[in-house]
Amino acid sequence: MEIATLGAGCFWGVEAALRRRNGVKATAVGYMGGTVKNPTYEQVCTDKTGHAEVVQVEYDPAVVTYDDLLNLFWEIHDPTTLNRQGPDIGTQYRSVVFFHTPGQEAAAHASKTRIQASGRYTRNVVTEITPASHFWRAEDYHQQYFAKRGILH
């Protein structure tokens, strides 16, 4: 198993999309990239902690590759909006790939270059690619939020 950590706006929908991918064994929503230890959702929502809402994905690379996950990442959000996804505004909603290995870093940069060159977007892709830091698991009520409410399975 390997780990990927992706931020693409509000983590509820991102987690739901990633959970449906064959080869994804587990997901957890949480916070990464900030300065506060063990942040709460309320703290992160102030846009003062520096954390992004992220999904940490445990996946089987024999079934789904890191590139496959990156391709899905580009499909499920707008990587051209700085610190915003839809109505959600703030650095906690930024588009970000937190890499865990040099291979993930290289793959993320190559993938970002491909998506920018594809012509799919008329604006620049602003997605950050940065080393993974401590993952702070979000409160239990955020985990599989949509599935718990019968919105998505």
Answer whether residue 153 is part of any domain. Answer: no
Answer whether residue 51 is part of any domain. Answer: yes
Answer whether residue 102 is part of any domain. Answer: yes
Number of domains in the chain: 1
Pairwise CA distance, residues 122 & 132, whole Å? 29
User: 13 CB contacts (<8 Å, ≥6 apart)?
Assistant: 76, 146
Give mean pLDDT, residues 32-39: 96
CATH of the domain at 108: 3.30.1060.10
Give me the phi and psi of 110, to 5 degrees please. -65, -40
Contact 95, 127 (CB under 8 A): yes
State percent of the chain over pLDDT 90: 86
For all residues of the chain together, what is the average pLDDT?
94
Dump pLDDT digits (tens) for 61-87: 999 999 999 999 999 999 999 999 989
Catalytic site positions: 10
In this prediction the pTM is 0.93
Helices assigned H by DSSP within 76-121: 102-117
Which residue has better confidence, 142 or 11?
A: 11
| Three-class secondary structure of residue 13 per DSSP | helix
Give mean pLDDT, residues 49-61: 97
Q: What is the CA radius of gyration of the chain?
A: 14
Pairwise CA distance, residues 63 & 74, whole Å? 19
Domain residue limits at 80: 2-148
pLDDT band at 24 (very low <50, low <70, confident <90, very high): very high
Pairwise CA distance, residues 22 & 33, whole Å? 28
Dump pLDDT digits (tens) for 119-138: 999 999 999 999 999 999 99
Answer whether residue 71 is part of any domain. Answer: yes
